[in-house]
Amino acid sequence: MYLYALIISGVLIILLFFFGDVLGGIEEASPFLNPILILAFIVFLSASGYLFEVLTSLNSILIALISVIIAFIFSVLLNVFILVPMSSAEESLVYSEDSLRGRVGVIIIPIPEKGYGEVLIESYSGRISKTAESLNGQAIANGEKVLVIEVKESRVIVTTHEQI
């Protein structure tokens, strides 16, 4: 029984890895109903149960209790040390438009008078390219350094930046 549960739950974890976006809303409803944690618990339970059945001569009820305890401990460790840090690390790469204010960028598409261009802003998580508009409506040439003054309607208002 343990071996069959191990094989089935292993296959389900592989399928969840490839098609996990289908069940993405379940973990939003309750963090305890995370499909990865449930399947990992079953894998740990069935693997330890199978090993104890094959390698020891303990009572089946005692093996089941020990396997449940082992599976619970490993599932908690998996959640605390792997899943939670991964979910927060993914969020830390996201930027908000307000965080662009005060940053220095380089014009990659020139801004004509009273027109729009494009600015490239270097970030710790990569490069951000945004539509740019000059603060005073003046033209800004390609390759010039600019300072982001304001963010409006997903475009940045910039002015030329002079290093002191």
> 63 and 114 in one domain?
no
Range of the domain at 109: 97-160
pLDDT along the chain (164 residues), means of 10: 92 82 62 78 95 94 96 93 74 68 92 93 82 91 92 90 71
> 125 and 72 in one domain?
no
Query: What is residue 77's predicted lDDT score, i.e. its pLDDT?
Result: 94
What distance in Å separates the CA atoms of residue 57 and residue 68, rounded to the nearest whole number?
Answer: 18
> 49 and 86 in one domain?
yes
> 117 and 70 in one domain?
no
Residue 13: φ, ψ to 5°: -65, -40
- Domain count of the fold of the chain: 2
**Token couple for 87:** 């979910």
Query: What is residue 32's predicted lDDT score, i.e. its pLDDT?
Result: 60
**Token couple for 5:** 């549960």
Q: Is 147 exposed, middle or buried (0-12, 13-18, 19+ CB in 10 A)?
A: middle
Question: Which of the listed residues 39, 72, 92 is the one where a domain comes to its end?
Answer: 92
Question: Which of the listed residues 92, 112, 132 is the one where a domain comes to its end?
Answer: 92
Query: What is residue 108's predicted lDDT score, i.e. its pLDDT?
Result: 95
**Token couple for 100:** 């662009």
Q: What is the CATH number of the domain that holds 154?
A: 2.40.50.140
Question: Which of the listed residues 71, 92, 113 is the one where a domain comes to its end?
Answer: 92
- Partners of 121 in beta bridges: 105, 128
CB 135 within 8 Å of CB 157: yes
